[in-house]
Amino acid sequence: MTEVENNMSKVSEAKVKRGIRPVGTNKTLLGRISSFPQFGILVVFVLMIAVMSILSDSFFSYDNFINVLRQSSTEMVVAMGMTFVLILGGIDLSVGSIACLSGTIAAGVVQRNGFNTFESLVIGVLVGALAGFINGFISSKFKIPPFIASLAMMSMARGAALIYSGGVPIAGLTPGFINLGRGHLVGIPVPVVVMVIVVAICWVVLSTTKFGRYVYAIGGNEEVARLSGIRVNLVKVLVYVICGSAAAITGILYTARLASSQPTLGQGMELDAIASVVLGGTSLFGGRGYVFGTIVGGLFLAVLGNGLNMLGVTSFWQMVVRGAILLIAVFLYEKGQ
């Protein structure tokens, strides 16, 4: 075992002594299941599906299931990037604006410059990665709080998108580009396929790589991680690059689905992403988070919104319900630690 891994092990042992037990320490099957981090939200999720199915005949159907997956897929991608950031102990308020900027530029190079779909996708993701790099570099190199750095980027990226587009939608996109948001692959919507790929990559990185362990270590105790030999600033920058890239993919998928870039795209996206991640059990203070939990949280919000729409609940009341659920979830998770 290397010195870094040995020190990280000591951090984990310290957490156990403070009462943060790993999943599966209970001997009984029921105890192991109930100690699972997302157990509570899973129970509520299943109950919600049962109630919605009773109240609406069309809720529990294949078409609606695909619709929910399609609607949640884009939000899930950006939530994966936010999962990295929150585990690290940071926050990114600029993901909505980065999504708008990346989608706008991707649409622009297709419509104005004649780039093909793949080239526009690469350019859009690179724009998001660059914005994420700036966020990470500023917050780590100059010790500016991530809240402030990303808040500044939120304004700059939105302004850059408006300057590039002239404040008007960019339409006339190619069928190949539009298929990114509306097309199907072996009967499955393309955004859902992209979501599965992104989720799989994030799970592998966080669960099986040294980089993933470094992210958890920095979120748990940055100073201990630094003394253990981890290049903290580099990891921080890479995490924000990941988050920016995820936001860019989301923005491109949204733009393709709308068949045009929209200056207002992504407004409020950062709040939805944070809500999905926190509902899934990721701590706002860093050091604890789960890819599977983010999936559960994202699907929970998607199913909730879909069910409330079917029941005719206005968007105003939906906002109240979502906010209340998020507040309760944070309270219960933090109280249990």
Q: What is the pLDDT of residue 244?
A: 98
DSSP code for 187: T
Are 290 and 22 in contact, with CB atoms under 8 Å apart? no
Q: Is 30 inside a domain boundary?
A: no
Task: Determine what percent of the chain is predicted with pLDDT higher than 90.
Answer: 64
Amino acid identity, residue 127?
A: V
Structural domain boundaries enclosing 291? 39-335
Q: Is 127 inside a domain boundary?
A: yes
3-state secondary structure of 241: helix
Q: What is the pLDDT of residue 207?
A: 93
Is pLDDT above 60 for 71?
Answer: yes
Task: Count the neighbouring beta carbons within 10 Å of the beta carbon of residue 188.
Answer: 14
Q: Is 54 inside a domain boundary?
A: yes
Secondary structure of 27-60 in the HEC alphabet? CCHHHHHHCCCCHHHHHHHHHHHHHHHHHCCCCC
The token pair that represents 284 in the structure block: 């706002």
CATH at residue 49? 1.10.3470
Q: Is 25 inside a domain boundary?
A: no
Q: Is 156 inside a domain boundary?
A: yes
Residue 304 makes CB contacts below 8 A (sequence gap 6+) with 48, 318, 321, 322, 325
Per-residue pLDDT band at 93 (split at 50, 70, 90): very high
More confident residue, 11 or 111: 111
- Which residue reads 């100690």 in tokens? 35
Q: Is 9 inside a domain boundary?
A: no
Give the range among 26-30, 75-79, 262-266, 306-310 with minimum mean pLDDT: 26-30
pTM, to two decimals = 0.87
Q: What is the pLDDT of residue 63?
A: 87
Are 93 and 151 in contact, with CB atoms under 8 Å apart? yes
3-state secondary structure of 277: helix
Q: Is 314 inside a domain boundary?
A: yes
3-state secondary structure of 315: helix
What is the tally of structural domains in the chain? 1
Half-sphere exposure of 42 (CA within 13 A, CB side): 12
Is pLDDT above 50 for 315?
Answer: yes
The CA distance from 22 to 26, in Å, is: 9
Task: Count the neighbouring beta carbons within 10 Å of the beta carbon of residue 149.
Answer: 24
Q: Is 83 inside a domain boundary?
A: yes
